[in-house]
Every structure is written in C-alpha cells, then in structure tokens.
C-alpha cells in the first residue's frame, strides 16, 4: 500500500469553493434520489465518491460546512418519516434511522399547577428552649 511522505500536500487540493460544490451535490442527491436513506448512501453515491473519513476530514478542515451536513440529514429524516407515515417503511426501523440521523424526542416538563407557578411553602423558624 503506497504511503505519503511526511509533509505531503496531497490534501491541499481541497478549497472552500470545491468543498462547497461537493456539499451542494450531496444535498441535491439527498433531495432527489429516493434510494438515499442514510448519510452513507449520499457519501458513497457515484457522483460524490467520498469515504466517511474523507467527509470527516473536510468537516474538520472546513467546519462551516457542518450546517450542510445537518441539512442533508434533515432531508433524509423527512424522507424516512414520510415513508413510515405512509406505510412504505416499518415504524421501528424508521424511528431508529431517524435517531441515527440526529432526530430527537422532545420532552417538555410543565412545572406549573393549573397555570399557577409552584411556590415553595415558607419556612418558619421556631425558638426552642435552648435559644432562650
């Protein structure tokens, strides 16, 4: 297996412009290819041709493109959710896939009673015989 010399500039070809093009291509694929059901499907798509480690490298070098990765994941989540609601996909695997892509259950805890805020009872201090 060939190895690069220390200090090799093999990765210097990546610029902000061509990385932007890659992410826009990935977003387009995620949006229009119905067979894309996970991030790996987008990364390994013939029009993209990246590996997961390559994507990680690009995101480390250009962290501002993390928002596009999230957009891509959201597009896939919407597809999986729609498929599960229509009955095209089984519910449990669809939920599992959506959670893998970053979807979260929202948990809201209401700390009120009948619309009134819960106020702690006042604490009263009593003098004891020792305090006299």
**H, E, C per residue of 61-124:** HCHHHHHHHHHHHHHHHHHHHHHHHHCCCCHHHHHHHHHHCCCCCCCCCCCEECCEECCCCCCC
Would you say 44 and 89 are in contact if contact means Cβ atoms under 8 Å apart? no
The Cα–Cα gap between 75 and 25 comes to 13
| 119 within domain boundaries | no
The dihedrals phi and psi of 76, each to the nearest 5 degrees, come to -70, -40
Contacts of 102 (CB under 8 A, 6+ apart): 70, 73, 77
Query: Which range of residues forms the domain containing residue 36?
Result: 12-104
State both tokens at 43: 């990364």
| 89 within domain boundaries | yes
| 126 within domain boundaries | no
Report the number of distinct structural domains present in the chain. Answer: 1
The Cα–Cα gap between 53 and 17 comes to 20
Q: pLDDT for 81-116, tens place per residue?
A: 787 777 776 666 666 666 766 666 666 665 566 666
| 98 within domain boundaries | yes
What is the reported pTM?
Answer: 0.62
**Beta bridge pairs of residue 117:** 112
Q: pLDDT for 12-62, tens place per residue?
A: 678 888 899 999 999 999 999 988 888 888 988 888 888 888 888 889 989
- Per-residue confidence at 6, pLDDT binned at 50, 70, 90? low
The Cα–Cα gap between 29 and 45 comes to 8
């Amino acid at each position: 297996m060939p190895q690069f010399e220390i200090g090799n500039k093999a990765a210097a070809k990546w610029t902000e412009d061509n990385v932007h093009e890659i992410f826009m291509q990935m977003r387009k694929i995620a949006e229009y290819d119905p067979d894309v059901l996970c991030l790996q499907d987008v990364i390994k798509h013939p029009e993209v041709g990246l590996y997961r480690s390559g994507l990680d490298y690009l995101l480390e070098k250009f962290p501002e493109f993390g928002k596009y990765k999230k957009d891509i994941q959201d597009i896939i989540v919407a597809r999986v959710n729609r498929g599960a609601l229509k009955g095209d996909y089984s519910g449990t695997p669809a939920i599992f896939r959506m959670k893998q892509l970053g979807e979260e259950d929202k948990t809201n805890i209401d700390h009120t009673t009948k619309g009134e805020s819960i106020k702690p009872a006042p604490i009263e201090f009593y003098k004891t015989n020792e305090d006299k």
